[in-house]
Chain A
Amino acid sequence: MREEILEILSGICPDVDFETETELIDGGVIESFDVIQIVTELMEHFNIEIDADDIEPENLNSLESICEMVRRKMGA
């Protein structure tokens, strides 16, 4: 799953190093427009529901936290 998510993220923001970046939101690395693209792709790809109140730095700051959120949503 991690690889699939990484592929989605890199497809949307090719210039960002998602393997090392840990402040994607707090550091302003990804803009709100990219966040929407990422979330929409994740919803479609994994068939999960992500709401506006899930858009928090702790859910999106790094590749690991995004994986964790997707895992949680898939289990829900």
Chain B
Amino acid sequence: MSIKSLTFLLFVFVVFCLYFAVQKTNLQKIVLLAAGLVCMAAMSSIAATALVILLALCIYGIALSMEKLIQKNGSAGTKTAKNQGRGLLLLGAFLDIGLLLYFKFFQNTYVLLQNYFATKHITLAELVVPIGLSYYTLALYGYLSDIYHKKYPAEKSFLLFLTYVTYFPAIIEGPINLYQKLAPQFRERHSFDGNRIVMGLQRCLWGYFKKVVIADRIGILVMGILQDDTAVGPLVFYAMVLYSFQIYTDFSGGIDVIMGISEILDIKLTENFRSPLVSSNVTEYWARWHMSLGAFMEKYIYYPIALNRKVMKISKKISNKYLSKAFSSALASFVVFVIVGIWHGTGWNYVVYGLYQAVFVAGAVLLTPLYKRMKGVLHIDDTTLKWRVFTILRTFVILVFGRILIKSANLQQAGALLQRMFADANPHALFDGTIYQFGLDYKNVFLMYACIALVIIVDILHERGVHFRELLMRQGIVFRYVIYYAAVFSIIVFGIYGPEFHSADFIYQAF
């Protein structure tokens, strides 16, 4: 069941009807839980769903045992109790993150095992990755760590805990929902509110538009150029620039649909994007892109490393005053980005992708005094619009080069793609009609440019505090419905469907 399929739309419609038909908290929770399990089984498999239920049960049990241990030993806690608590935390983390790492790194071993048994005429069941594993395994680690640090009480109801883990819109491609933000909402009753539902539908429409009309259209051209080895030089750079817009509209479009569905259900999720296109450095970009992952990394990896006593001791030994202050932050950023890289996929190309981001983020921290001095020497006024535009473009280009690593299957391919990019410097191919030979004719290319321009304008206006949906809600009913119909028809007419234009799954669904 794909998020763009009619089956999914019908499924969501049925969930909405049941959810608002039962006006009791407990029953609404059951509807969501059933929806989560059905969605998970349909998008991965029944066995994979059972695996997630088992994982949730383990984490649920470990958290309760950890809490009991803390309560029994009072706030001071004996050393043995503390060690036992830490042991339980490690066990939970091992199961939780271990499952994620297994599917990311060792699933090939299972395939080998399967092949081996196949030669002996024994069939092993296929292991399907549970959908959304990368998202809730991180959230579950956060939950365990919070219970260990006594931030809030452990969840007593397994039903509610499972509803939280399998919350169906978020298993598709996130965001990473921390327990304390999402789970309490399942204890409340959610009533039917026409205005809220219209707002949610608006967001879904915008999300589908970004995915089906923009991302999937760009995808055809990107694939067309990158798969044709005769396309070299600026054409390859052009494809990678387009890929940056593809991945953004694809991911944020999916998140808009998830947010829209949640808004209709009256469930508030953490926002995942804040106009990342206007970032003026790599650090700012990561604070605006996939924000739920950034917030998770900051809380559970960055701060624990940067404030680790051993790390702080090392930093005090550095004689340079500024470097001594910046060392722990730079080291923590480095580790965070290597993990972020690996989180995106297996293979050395993802590790290098993380390192590439880390160099810019940690470099910015370590070299701040040098940058300041350079700006002074070169008389650069960093408050001007010119400088801001320059920094935005510079950041965009840095990120475009970084994405070569995740667009390629491995490091060799990434190297080859980079070589292809610099094999020719003739920009003519971009203007002489060559680009129309890669799957999109000039009308489609024009539509693609118009859509990209629309996304950029919307991002800039968002950044300036313009809220389109609220603005639209203030307009007359006729105007509003004209916009709705235009949006629906443009998704139907301009959307990329069918066997020829095979619409890809959401890129971040695979993570």
Contact = CB atoms under 8 A, between A and B. Distances in A.
Interface of A: 28, 31-33, 35-37, 39-40, 50-53, 55-56
Given A50-B307, A53-B151, A33 B299 contact: no
Interface in B282-327: 283, 287, 298-299, 302-304, 306-308, 312, 325-326
A42 to B, nearest CB: 11
A55 B307 contact: yes
B262 interface: no
A50 B312 CA distance: 12
A32 B307 contact: no
B247 interface: no
22 contacts: A28-B287, A31-B283, A32-B298, A32-B302, A32-B303, A32-B329, A33-B326, A33-B329, A35-B303, A36-B303, A36-B329, A37-B325, A37-B329, A39-B307, A40-B312, A40-B328, A50-B307, A51-B307, A52-B307, A53-B149, A55-B299, A56-B151
A40 B311 CA distance: 12
A32 B336 CA distance: 13
- Provide the main secondary structure of the chain A interface: helix
Question: Chain B interface residue count: which class?
Answer: 10 to 19
A28 B366 CA distance: 21
A36 B306 contact: yes
B303 A52 contact: yes
B56 interface: no
Contacts of B329: 32-33, 36-37
B212 interface: no
B371 to A, nearest CB: 14
Given A32-B303, A32-B329, 18 more contacts: A31-B283, A31-B287, A33-B326, A33-B329, A36-B303, A36-B306, A36-B307, A36-B328, A36-B329, A36-B332, A40-B312, A40-B325, A52-B303, A52-B304, A52-B308, A55-B299, A55-B307, A56-B151
B365 interface: yes
Interface in B138-167: 149, 151
Nearest to A41: B325
Contacts of B303: 32, 35-36, 52, 55
Contacts of A37: 325, 329
Contacts of B332: 36
B307 A33 contact: no
A32 B297 CA distance: 11
A38 B236 CA distance: 45
B316 to A, nearest CB: 10
A8 B335 CA distance: 28
A37 to B, nearest CB: 6
Nearest to A55: B303
Contacts of A52: 303-304, 306-308
A13 to B, nearest CB: 13
Contacts of B283: 31
Contacts of A55: 299, 303, 307
